[in-house]
Structure 1
Amino acid sequence: MANTRNSPGLPAGADLLWIQLILSSILLLLAAGCAVGPNFQAPKKEVPPAWDGQTFVNHTQVSQTSTKPVTLVEWWTAFNDPVLVSLVEMATKANLDVRQAEARIRQARAARGVAGAPLWPQLEASALYQKSQGSSEAAGGGGIATVAPVRDLFQVGLDASWELDIFGGTRRSVEAATADLKAAVEDRRDVLVTLMGEVGTNYFNLRGFQQQIAIAQKNLEAQKKTAQITRRRFEAGFVSRLDVANAEAQVATTEAQIPRLEASARSAIYNLGVLLGREPAALEAALRRPLALPPPPPEVPVGLPSDLLRRRPDIRRAEAQLHAATARIGVAVAELFPKFNLTGTIGLSASDFSRLGTPGSKFWSFGPSITWPVFAGGRLRANIQLQTALQEQAYLAYEKAVLNALKEVESALVAYAKEQEHWKSLSEAVAQNRQAVDLAMKLYVAGKTDFLNVLNAQRSLYLTEDALTQSTRTLATNLVALYKALGGGWEKNP
């Protein structure tokens, strides 16, 4: 029976005990090891208990707000417009910015895998064939002419290495990469929030421009009829040529507004096409037919300012970026400490291929190693200072994101409230101007007033109707801006 202790190429019993002792010690070190550097704690930001701008909204009569829990999963459905719903659904699936954000998530997920790989032992296989001939003169031939023999070398083996994460540098790298992945996820959600807001804004702009075109065409027809009446009265000798010129000038002025509005409507269609990941004119046929602007919902739940910190993706992204920057300080600090490595090799080596696998062809090695940067010219501590400065920037970026979010909501609330007041006043003005036009025409036909009063009444009616349509459009886009500021919409596609 062969003596295993003395068998060539195999670890002896004492060697095995030594290896076991080393491995046990390493496992104890890993168990007791800690991750150097600061531990991340989510920042606590003080926010107001209520929205200041909400008081302005609740003094109007068009649409109220409340502190009910915000349900913004599909805020666009509150307008009861199936075309808008369809556009948003298509945009979330095909928009190029969303697809880029999804690619960044895949990139961050792969980067996390790369960061975590050093936590595991690395194993490499190798194979070698080499033919060589040494120099006989270099070996000292003693004046006798000799030729060194040609040698063959066949070798196969496995090389293993494992860097032990005693001080947590690799774990901090994984922590940072995980936070980067979370930031990428929140970035995609923020892209969705922006996308849905842009789809809503461009859609309401389109419907508003189409409605302005319809109003201009309606007033144009009324003004043309007035011009015909004036021309007949001129031919009958009741009015002067000046009245005819004024009537025709009014017609031309109104007619001149239509091409500009048509260009704006077409531009909104082009914008929607690109937002849906299609060529600009792809939606022209589907959106050509005018539809009325939808009214705002009777109530808009805005919640509390504290809800905003948990809901807005850009705030959560900034928090994740702060987490990653904090973890990278630990990565830099770990570079100050020694690195422990385990390396091992096992294989077969012979000068004749047929001898591979024999006991004498086996070789192996195993042992720990340690490296410690004694002097690096201040690079390591400078890197710690660098990462600390980056962490401070990330914290300030988080603070700015919170303040900017609060500002956007407050501004959107006030803009929405004041536009409601504007809309209400314009509605009353339109009603009064319609009565004024009817009365002026009756008096003019009866010869009881001059034509200037008719022109002024028609001009005022057109201007106020156009302004009311613009206000209705602005009311809708301001509400979209409020939903966007509240961070709504991403929950549908988490």
Structure 2
Amino acid sequence: MTECKEKVRYKSLWITGSALAVSACAAGPDYRAPAPAALGVPATYGQADGATGSAAISEADLATWWTRLNDPALSSLIDRAIANNLDIVQAQARLRQARESLRQANASFLPQVSGSASGGKNYRSQAGGTRVDDSGNVISTGASNWSSSYSVSASASWQIDLFGELSRSAEAARADLAASGYDLANVRTTIIAELVTNYVQARLAQEQLRVARETQAIQQDNYNIANWRLQAGLASSLDEQQARAQLAQTNAAVPQLEASLKGSLNRVAVLTGQAPGEATRALETPAPIPAASTRIATGIPADTLRQRPDVRSAERALAAATARIGVAQAQLYPSLGISGNLGTTSNSFKDLFSLITGGVFANVAQVIFDGGRLASQLRSQKAAADAAFAAYKQTVLTALEDVENAMATLASARARKAEFATAFEASNNAAIIARSQYQSGLIDFQTLSTTENTLLNARNSLASARSDEVLAIAQLYNALGGGWQNMESRPPNEPTHEQ
């Protein structure tokens, strides 16, 4: 800063009658993006298995990751959500606000010019004596007249960015604009992940409803057999009552599944910017749970700093807070402004510009005593920058945690799906055998009931495991920052320099 003051002192010079050329220097620290090591970013992820790989993930895969689920209905819903979701619309409005704030900051570098003009008539009356005419009337001898007056004036003022207050303000506004762009991207990725989640949950509810209704048919058949055996004296009423209770329990599960399906469809409608009901009528037709991809590339942890929009937003917020240190520091130093005016006044419009007057002035101002207010603002802004760095680091660590958790969840879902597939196959075989033996009178109804309940649980568990796998994939792609790379208005790439 001392060197900067010397430049101002020795390179400043007056240009006769009009301008001042100053070698401006920006107060405050120049921003340097923290290195990954300073943020605690490890070299590799701790979770590694066959479901994920450390190969670099392409932006194209991240941008439209849901297309790998091969579900056209889901892809269409996501397109509608991107276009119409109201959270996204709000974030787009905030981005436009930030863009206008940058324009306002840039306008401060230019002179401010204003002008005025006026015109009018002035009335003048002068009292005089009186006399009496030959008829005896009193006649006034005073004088009165009207005169015109016109004036035009213009004034201009220009704040010289002597110590970089304006340039640091513009730097902060640019960072704020970029942060708003990344906030929009973060809203978009969140909406896409939530839409996929509710879509998969709706398909899971439809699958569980299908299982429940198939089970109802079987249990109704079992109840009819138990009732027939009771009437024939081949079984006690215990079998008949157990069959009746089992059927009622399955019947009771159906309304709950229907409510779950309706709730998911309603949420899908709202996420696409529409009212619940007619908007998702086509989705009420049952369809399979989307198929999951086999392997997902996750890259390395350092990729998180460029892939996650919330991380990039936090980094830009740190850049803005650092720039505002310079704004606060520049206010401690003298301010320099240049102002000027032009004007003309005439009693006749045609002579309005015959005589023009004006002047140019320079103004230097320095706060001498303010009770420590400006110094306190500087310390406050430094504290804000420290908090912004902590928030940035926290966002980075949380992002890494999200990726690790998503990889663990995906590995767990795939392991459980494999085991539930085996359990379903075995319990289905057992149920076929038990049903045949019950009809032949070789086993009691309790054994059949236990076997079929096991089959029902296995079918539902397998369906849940399949949906959990897809949801874990959505969670992982969201954690990796997928879904915004092909935005029409991507945030500007800010130049950063690692320490």
TM-score, reference length from structure 1: 0.88
> Within the alignment, does 1:185 sit opposite 2:175 as a pair?
no
1:478 alignment partner, one of 463, 467, 472? 472
1:258 alignment partner, one of 254, 257, 263? 254
Tell me the SS of whatever aligns to 2:446.
helix
Q: Which runs of 5+ in 2 are unaligned?
A: 1-12, 127-141, 491-499
Question: Post-superposition shift, 1:346?
Answer: 1.1
> Within the alignment, does 1:305 sit opposite 2:301 as a pair?
yes
Corresponding position of 1:97: 87
Question: Post-superposition shift, 1:216?
Answer: 0.5
Question: Post-superposition shift, 1:65?
Answer: 3.6
Question: Post-superposition shift, 1:450?
Answer: 1.2
Query: Deviations along 1:319-377, whole A, 9 cap, x unmatched?
Result: 1000001111111111111111111111211244453122xx32111121111111112
Q: CA RMSD in A?
A: 2.1
Query: Deviations along 1:300-327, whole A, 9 cap, x unmatched?
Result: 1111111111110000000100000111
Say if 1:130 and 1:169 are closer, same or farther in 2 by CA, change over 3 A: farther
Say if 1:94 and 1:276, in contact at 8 Å, map to a contact too: yes
Q: Which whole-Å CA distance do the structure 1 matches of 2:100 and 2:28 have between them?
A: 24
2:203 alignment partner, one of 177, 191, 207? 207
Q: In the alignment, residue 42 of structure 2 is paired with which amino acid?
A: P
Say if 1:95 and 1:275, in contact at 8 Å, map to a contact too: yes
> Within the alignment, does 1:67 sit opposite 2:60 as a pair?
no
Q: Which whole-Å CA distance do the structure 2 matches of 1:376 and 1:149 have between them?
A: 56
Corresponding position of 2:27: 36
2:317 alignment partner, one of 315, 318, 321? 321
Corresponding position of 1:127: 117
Percent sequence identity is 34
Query: Deviations along 1:88-109, whole A, 9 cap, x unmatched?
Result: 1111011111111111111111
Question: Post-superposition shift, 1:440?
Answer: 1.1
Corresponding position of 2:399: 405
Q: Which whole-Å CA distance do the structure 2 matches of 1:351 and 1:338 have between them?
A: 43
2:286 alignment partner, one of 290, 302, 307? 290
Moved more, 337-346 or 45-54: 45-54
Query: Deviations along 1:432-483, whole A, 9 cap, x unmatched?
Result: 1111111112222222211110011111111111121112111111110111
Q: Which whole-Å CA distance do the structure 1 matches of 2:325 and 2:15 have between them?
A: 35
Q: In the alignment, residue 67 of structure 1 is paired with which amino acid?
A: A
Q: In the alignment, residue 216 of structure 1 is paired with which amino acid?
A: A
Corresponding position of 1:462: 456
Tell me the SS of whatever aligns to 1:157.
strand
Say if 1:448 and 1:91 are closer, same or farther in 2 by CA, change over 3 A: same
Corresponding position of 1:139: none
Q: Which whole-Å CA distance do the structure 2 matches of 1:283 and 1:420 have between them?
A: 33
Q: Which whole-Å CA distance do the structure 1 matches of 2:457 and 2:374 have between them?
A: 70
1:231 alignment partner, one of 221, 227, 234? 227
Corresponding position of 1:248: 244
Q: Which whole-Å CA distance do the structure 2 matches of 1:66 and 1:431 have between them?
A: 34
Alignment of 1:361-376 (within 5 A): 361-376=355-370
Q: Which whole-Å CA distance do the structure 2 matches of 1:357 and 1:69 have between them?
A: 71
Q: In the alignment, residue 93 of structure 1 is paired with which amino acid?
A: A
Say if 1:349 and 1:363, in contact at 8 Å, map to a contact too: no
Tell me the SS of whatever aligns to 1:490.
coil
Say if 1:156 and 1:347, in contact at 8 Å, map to a contact too: yes
> Within the alignment, does 1:45 sit opposite 2:36 as a pair?
yes
Say if 2:27 and 2:163, in contact at 8 Å, map to a contact too: yes
2:390 alignment partner, one of 392, 396, 403? 396
Say if 2:36 and 2:302, in contact at 8 Å, map to a contact too: no
Q: Which whole-Å CA distance do the structure 2 matches of 1:268 and 1:86 have between them?
A: 17
Q: In the alignment, residue 444 of structure 1 is paired with which amino acid?
A: Y
Q: In the alignment, residue 369 of structure 1 is paired with which amino acid?
A: N
Query: Deviations along 1:4-53, whole A, 9 cap, x unmatched?
Result: xxxxxxxxxxxxxx9843656x22x1xx2110111110011222222112
Tell me the SS of whatever aligns to 2:171.
helix
Q: Which whole-Å CA distance do the structure 2 matches of 1:147 and 1:334 have between them?
A: 63
Question: Post-superposition shift, 1:153?
Answer: 4.3
Corresponding position of 1:106: 96
Q: Which whole-Å CA distance do the structure 1 matches of 2:280 and 2:234 have between them?
A: 49
Q: Which whole-Å CA distance do the structure 2 matches of 1:475 and 1:96 have between them?
A: 29
Corresponding position of 2:493: none
Question: Post-superposition shift, 1:149?
Answer: 11
Moved more, 384-393 or 44-53: 44-53
Say if 1:130 and 1:337 are closer, same or farther in 2 by CA, change over 3 A: farther
Say if 1:335 and 1:64 are closer, same or farther in 2 by CA, change over 3 A: closer
Say if 1:41 and 1:66 are closer, same or farther in 2 by CA, change over 3 A: closer
Question: Post-superposition shift, 1:148?
Answer: 13
Q: In the alignment, residue 450 of structure 1 is paired with which amino acid?
A: D
Corresponding position of 1:86: 76
1:415 alignment partner, one of 406, 409, 413? 409
TM-score, reference length from structure 2: 0.87
Q: Which whole-Å CA distance do the structure 1 matches of 2:321 and 2:30 have between them?
A: 11
Q: Which whole-Å CA distance do the structure 2 matches of 1:245 and 1:205 have between them?
A: 34
Q: Which whole-Å CA distance do the structure 2 matches of 1:89 and 1:354 have between them?
A: 66
Q: In the alignment, residue 259 of structure 2 is paired with which amino acid?
A: A
Query: Deviations along 1:118-157, whole A, 9 cap, x unmatched?
Result: 21111111113477899x9xxxxxxxxx999998642101
Q: Which whole-Å CA distance do the structure 2 matches of 1:165 and 1:356 have between them?
A: 37
Alignment of 1:139-178 (within 5 A): 153-178=149-174
Say if 1:378 and 1:19 are closer, same or farther in 2 by CA, change over 3 A: closer
Query: Deviations along 1:165-217, whole A, 9 cap, x unmatched?
Result: 11110010000000000001111111111011011101000000110000000
Question: Post-superposition shift, 1:298?
Answer: 1.3
Tell me the SS of whatever aligns to 2:36.
coil
Say if 2:169 and 2:323, in contact at 8 Å, map to a contact too: yes
Tell me the SS of whatever aligns to 1:54.
coil
Query: Deviations along 1:212-251, whole A, 9 cap, x unmatched?
Result: 0000001111111111111111111110111011001111
Q: Which whole-Å CA distance do the structure 1 matches of 2:291 and 2:171 have between them?
A: 48
> Within the alignment, does 1:487 sit opposite 2:481 as a pair?
yes
